[in-house]
């Protein structure tokens, strides 16, 4: 799939922003003694970047506990995200959500999510909205992990999305582990993508370290969704560089050699090795984007630190939808 020079630079900028957010921001949360657990997506940048490059604010994504990359790729402001991680009132969820509850409806970002595979039925619901109200022209992407691939709700959701031909992309980020469980220990098939055949949809597995491979596969899935042909299961083979959470030592269940193998195929490095020899983009331009991403993180940390904490009086605000309670009291058959 053809990409302009500007579009390629944008892919790199998104990946660099995610990498710097994870590598600079996450250790900072520890220093501020945030008690919530935080999951780094460093290493997996090419997946949300290649997919969300096809989407606009009108499209929807549902995310996971490892969701910072999804948010950034979908256009959520990294400064506000940092504030959310620090529990500050300027975060997208006013500091009351934290890393695993970052939602920004203005960007079609339905939320990072602490419940494994919970993104999936949310995205299928959004896909149904698109079909009923927008003639399939809004695409809904469900991100989930290889562990999430074994949740029952995924299978119900894939079946329904296929029966109703909803404009949904099921994107499995297969990073080889669910906590400390290796994917081959828990997966009955050779590839998660093989399961698509049971739901009568295309199942594709791609190199999730190669942003161009992800971009191409996602382009086909988006075109299929908008043509009313229904969902696609896209499995991206990738790797998380750090532990499951900041508290986990991955070397207790995987080897240094394995980590090195994947780091040699780092998505940002691979991008450079692909585009710089072609001559259209220089190494200096990419260095400059890296510096800008670094500076953005310093700015984000300053912004978050100088932002107020939420007020105790706001504790119960934004927790529940504001239902018309009077109507509910009058009878369950009322339309609300």
Ligand X SMILES: Cc1ncc(C[n+]2csc(CCOP(=O)(O)OP(=O)(O)O)c2C)c(N)n1
- The residue sitting closest to ligand X, measured at its beta carbon, is 145
* Cβ closest to Mg ion, residue 97 vs residue 145: 145
For the chain, helix, strand, coil in percent to 5 are: 50, 10, 40
Backbone angles phi, psi at 78, to 5 degrees: -60, -25
With CB cut-offs between 5 and 8 Å by kind, which of Mg ion, ligand X, none does residue 314 bind? none
Question: Residue 249 CB: number of other CB atoms within 10 A?
Answer: 10
With CB cut-offs between 5 and 8 Å by kind, which of ligand X, Mg ion, none does residue 167 bind? none
H helix and E strand count, the chain: 13, 7
Residue 107 token pair: 């960007």
- The residue sitting closest to Mg ion, measured at its beta carbon, is 145
Does the active-site annotation cover 240? yes
* Cβ closest to Mg ion, residue 117 vs residue 211: 117
Minimum distance between the CB of residue 334 and ligand X, rounded to whole angstroms?
Answer: 33
Residues within window 139-178 making contact with Mg ion, judged by CB under 5 A: 145-146, 175, 178
Minimum distance between the CB of residue 178 and ligand X, rounded to whole angstroms?
Answer: 3
Minimum distance between the CB of residue 258 and Mg ion, rounded to whole angstroms?
Answer: 14
Residue with tokens 């691939």: 149
* Cβ closest to ligand X, residue 39 vs residue 265: 39
With CB cut-offs between 5 and 8 Å by kind, which of ligand X, Mg ion, none does residue 91 bind? none
* Cβ closest to ligand X, residue 60 vs residue 177: 177
Alpha-carbon gap, residue 91 to 304, rounded angstroms: 8
Residues within the interface to ligand X (CB under 6 A): 64-66, 114-116, 145-148, 175, 177-179, 244
Secondary structure (3-state) at 287 = helix
With CB cut-offs between 5 and 8 Å by kind, which of Mg ion, ligand X, none does residue 92 bind? none
Does the active-site annotation cover 244? yes
Q: Which of 240, 241, 242, 265 is catalytic?
A: 240
Secondary structure (3-state) at 13 = helix
Q: Which of 19, 205, 224, 244 is catalytic?
A: 244
Minimum distance between the CB of residue 192 and ligand X, rounded to whole angstroms?
Answer: 10
Alpha-carbon gap, residue 4 to 9, rounded angstroms: 9
* Cβ closest to ligand X, residue 193 vs residue 296: 193
Minimum distance between the CB of residue 139 and Mg ion, rounded to whole angstroms?
Answer: 24
Secondary structure (3-state) at 182 = strand
Question: For the chain, where are the E strands, in sequence order?
Answer: 60-62, 140-145, 168-174, 177-178, 181-182, 203-207, 232-237
Residues linked to residue 204 through DSSP beta bridges, in sequence order: 234
DSSP assignment of 23-57: IIIHHHHHHTT--S-----TT-THHHHHHHTT--T
Alpha-carbon gap, residue 243 to 245, rounded angstroms: 5
Alpha-carbon gap, residue 168 to 161, rounded angstroms: 7
With CB cut-offs between 5 and 8 Å by kind, which of Mg ion, ligand X, none does residue 121 bind? none
Minimum distance between the CB of residue 198 and ligand X, rounded to whole angstroms?
Answer: 20
Q: Which of 24, 134, 253, 272 is catalytic?
A: 253
Does the active-site annotation cover 177? no
With CB cut-offs between 5 and 8 Å by kind, which of Mg ion, ligand X, none does residue 148 bind? ligand X
* Cβ closest to ligand X, residue 145 vs residue 208: 145
The residues assigned a catalytic role are 240, 244, 253
The residues binding Mg ion (CB under 5 A) are: 145-146, 175, 178
């Amino acid at each position: 799939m053809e990409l302009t020079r500007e579009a390629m630079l944008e892919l790199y900028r998104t990946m660099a922003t995610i990498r710097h957010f994870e590598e600079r921001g996450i250790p900072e949360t520890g220093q501020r003694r945030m008690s919530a657990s935080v999951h780094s997506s460093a290493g997996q940048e090419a997946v949300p970047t290649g997919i969300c490059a096809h989407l606009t604010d009108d499209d929807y994504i549902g995310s996971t506990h490892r969701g910072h990359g999804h948010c950034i790729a979908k256009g959520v402001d990294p400064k506000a995200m940092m504030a959310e991680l620090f529990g500050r009132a300027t975060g997208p969820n006013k500091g009351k959500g934290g890393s695993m509850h970052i939602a920004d409806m203005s960007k079609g970002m339905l939320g990072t999510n602490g419940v494994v595979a919970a993104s999936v039925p949310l995205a299928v619901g959004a896909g149904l909205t698109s079909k009923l109200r927008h003639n399939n022209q809004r695409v809904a992407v469900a991100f989930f992990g290889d562990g999430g691939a074994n949740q029952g709700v995924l299978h119900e959701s894939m079946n329904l999305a296929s029966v109703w031909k909803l404009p949904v992309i099921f994107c499995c980020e297969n990073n080889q582990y669910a906590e400390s469980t290796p994917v081959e220990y828990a997966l009955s098939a050779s590839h998660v993508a093989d399961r698509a055949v049971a739901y009568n949809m295309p199942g594709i597995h791609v190199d999730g370290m190669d942003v161009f491979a992800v971009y191409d596969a996602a382009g086909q899935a988006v075109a299929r969704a908008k043509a009313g042909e229904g969902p696609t299961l896209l499995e991206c083979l990738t790797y998380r560089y750090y532990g499951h959470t900041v508290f986990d030592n991955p070397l207790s269940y995987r080897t240094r050699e394995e980590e090195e193998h994947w780091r040699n195929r780092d998505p940002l490095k691979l991008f450079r090795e692909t585009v710089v020899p072609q001559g259209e983009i220089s190494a200096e331009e990419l260095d400059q984007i890296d510096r800008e991403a670094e500076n953005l993180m310093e700015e984000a940390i300053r912004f978050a630190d100088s932002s107020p904490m939420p007020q105790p009086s706001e504790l119960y605000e934004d927790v529940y939808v504001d239902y018309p309670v009077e109507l509910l009291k009058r009878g369950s058959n009322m339309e609300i």
